Amino acid sequence: MTPASSRKGSTTSIRSTRSEEHSLAPSDEECLFRAAQLPLLDSHGNLVTFESLYHSSTIQTRQRHLIIFIRNFFCGLCQDYLTALCTSITPSALAALDPPVTLSVVGCGSPDLIPFYAKSTGCPFPIYTDATGNIYSAMHLIRSMRPGPTRPEYQTASISALALRSLLQGVSNGIPGALHGGDLRQVGGEFIFCDGSIEWAHRMGNTRDHTEVKDLMQVLGLLSERAKV
């Protein structure tokens, strides 16, 4: 796996790394011990364990698993991020890697909003939700409303414009949907798992601190694969 270039709040080697906000976090092993058996819901309301996203006993070949934790389902920044990611990273490209990679998205709102979110972002990957926030907490993903000092490449509009878009989306989903998009303060992160352990991790330090798509592609080895073509 090729390491990506470093930036504040994230890192580049395949080791899990932490920003200052996460300096007192438990170890990755402790996080997984707490989170593995906690439940997620899919778009149909079916329960799955968090562990099932990164550890499958039915698959004999070695795999890696990328899990992306987003903010609430109406967060315009995360919608921009997932749209950019899904434009550049496809299921077929991940499947062609050695070892192949699966990708799952975890939000924190109502499972009823998952179809809306998948359509809004063009996401072809499975989306789940941890509406209780228990897995976010176990994985030591912080709560914050700070936007951070730097505008990321994936952000397509100003914060105010994205906030307006989020408001309109909430209204269009009706009062029940608008009130169940998820914890507004919860931020997420990206994790790569292999053999049941965390191989690489980035925990967001603010509301627009997702790993840039090109950096994530480099960590996954997708850029080196494209260079061969």
The full DSSP string for 85-152 is HHHH--HHHHHTSSS-EEEEEEESS-GGGHHHHHHHHT--S-EEE-TT-HHHHHTT--B-----SS--
Hey, what amino acid is at 57? S
Provide the residue-wise pLDDT of the chain in tens; the chain has 229 residues.
Answer: 433 333 333 333 444 444 445 555 688 999 999 999 999 999 999 999 999 999 866 666 789 999 999 999 999 999 999 999 999 999 999 999 999 999 999 999 999 999 999 999 999 999 999 999 999 999 999 999 999 999 999 999 999 999 998 888 888 877 676 789 999 999 999 999 999 999 999 999 999 999 999 999 999 999 875 555 4
User: Which secondary-structure segment (H or E) carries 27?
Assistant: none
- Domains parsed from the chain with CATH numbers: 20-228 (3.40.30.10)
User: Which secondary-structure segment (H or E) carries 174?
Assistant: helix 174-178
Give the per-residue pLDDT at 14.
41
Strand partners for 104: 67
